[in-house]
Amino acid sequence: MLAAAAVRGQSNYVYNFTENQAIPAGNPVGLSFSTNLTGMSFGGSMSISNVTVSLDISGGFNGNLYAYLVGPDGAFAVLLNRVGVSSGNAFGYANSGFNITLNDLVNSGNVHSYQNDSPSYNGSGQLTGTWAADGKNIDPNSSPSAFDSALDTAGLLNLAGGNPDGLWTLFVADLASGPPSTIVSWGLDITTVPEPPALALAGLGGMAALLVCFRRRVGND
């Protein structure tokens, strides 16, 4: 009953942001992009069910990049963490850029190891397609072997259950010197559903209305 009600009450909000800013190479300070989004929670009666992120990053060396997203409640999702870095690849993947969608609910490979999952690239050499967020919540300067055992538990599903209204922040950094990367644009697709208490109250209200109607009908018979 609750699942059906949540599906009926869900809403989607899509936001796109054009940046066209170079990401400083070899600088962990990186770039932060913050936006205050409102009009989704309806006074706290709605919460986040799922978040999809789009990233358009051109040029550079993909294995150098580190990116995360912070939601209004402070929940944190690691989008990219030096993709490809492992005990067998200390520098990560050398492809140039991303034009991707990150969604943890789809049946696709994790972006951290995308070369193991038949990737496709556009004419500019950017990785394309839909992938699960990296989710490896470790220091991006950790030893390559640390990435082998790090779990992908800090993905976009970390944001579920939070308030969709408020400050959303994307952070991206290029952690090694080399060809520059540019963040062209990014976007959010936020799915909200009614909070369980709101659903419960709605259900109780409906049951009460049915009971009143039943009593009136019995009284009139």
Mean model confidence pLDDT for the chain: 88
Q: In sequence order, what are the residues at sequence separation of 6 or more whose Cβ sits closer than 8 angstroms to the Cβ of residue 37?
A: 13, 15, 72, 164, 165, 166, 168, 188, 190
- 209 part of a folded domain: no
Report how many domains make up the chain: 1
Whether 208 shows a pLDDT value over 80: the answer reads no
The predicted model gives 8-14 an average pLDDT of 89
Q: In sequence order, what are the residues at sequence separation of 6 or more whose Cβ sits closer than 8 angstroms to the Cβ of residue 96?
A: 58, 59, 60, 61, 62, 124, 125, 126, 179
- 213 part of a folded domain: no
**pLDDT value for 8:** 61
pLDDT tens digits along 58-91: 999 999 999 999 999 999 999 999 999 999 999 9
- 201 part of a folded domain: no
CA-to-CA distance for 166 and 72, rounded, in angstroms?
A: 5
pLDDT tens digits along 155-181: 999 999 999 999 999 999 999 998 899
Q: Is 171 helix (H, G, I), strand (E, B) or coil?
A: strand
Tell me the backbone φ, ψ of residue 147, rounded to 5 degrees: -70, -25
- 211 part of a folded domain: no
Per-residue pLDDT band at 107 (split at 50, 70, 90): confident
Tokens 């950790």: give the residue: 142
- 215 part of a folded domain: no
- 204 part of a folded domain: no
Show the domain range for 117: 2-195
